[in-house]
Amino acid sequence: MARNIRPLATRKLCSFIILTMHSTDKHNPLKAVLFDVDGTLADTEQDGHRPAFNAAFQEFGLSWHWDIPLYGRLLQITGGKERIRFYIEQHAPKALNRTDLDEWIASLHKTKTRHFKKLMEQGDIPLRPGVKRLIHELRSKNIKIAIATTTTPENVTYLLQSVLGKDSIDLFDVIGAGDIVPMKKPAPDIYFWVLEKLKLAPSQCIAIEDSENGLLAALAADLPTLITVNNYTRQQNFNGALAVLSDLGEPEQNFTQISDNPQLVDKHWIDAETLQQLIKT
């Protein structure tokens, strides 16, 4: 967590901007939905990124192997290059002696991204329940949709094109991804960046996340946040979320409430109307 602390001066400036935007919009209708990617749009972590990392390690002649439990722990570190460095610090400290460590990690991560692309092209990782339905409903209602993620822009493109078609990037009004901001989640930088591009106040939006780090980032940007958990994040702390659900649900596959929210007692799937009701609380 300490490696993601935002510089104080920058935090004060962003807080001023958000407070200024916030002043007259307390009851405005929903204008935008901001989606995280990995674990939120699709369960890419366990069956996408993890095997891609392992394939890259093998290609580099490394004996490293990230099994499912280990990768779950590594997910506490946001960002692929940051995750590799943390693993080296904890499990392979001799590699810290490399004079080209930063470039080597970047090359290893680039190789991992290539393997991830191959997995996405195979189409083996579908969107989570309700994601495609909600995206298209939001578009039909002229509600903006954006992405706010720490994964690379290439990974976002590979995933979206594999599950929504080659023109799917055009569905999104703003895509915030990768290293376009200095600090990754749980720092709120990526959300501040996306809000600035959307020209919207936090109270006009809702974030959809799957992890504690994602929730912390969204809340630090003053964004109302809905959580849809996955196997890696189910036991994390989601205090402050509007609701914690199994997924977004479908008419034929209802979501399960993990936290009790009275507004969702009679709801079975998340739609634009439900999101609007949630941000009014």
CB 35 within 8 A of CB 208: yes
- Phi and psi at 212, nearest 5°, equal -65, -40
Name the one residue in this structure whose structure tokens are 């807080």. 15
Give the C-alpha distances (Å, rounded to integers) separating 110 from 56, 59, 72, 174. Answer: 9, 12, 21, 24
Enumerate the active-site residues.
36, 38
Give the neighbor-by-neighbor strand order of the sheet with 243-245: 174-176, 144-148, 32-35, 205-209, 225-228, 243-245
**Torsion 77-80-81-84 (CA) sign:** positive
SS3 226: strand
Give the pair of three-digit tokens for residue 130. Answer: 């309700």
Can you list the positions of beta strands (E) in the chain?
A: 32-35, 144-148, 174-176, 205-209, 225-228, 243-245
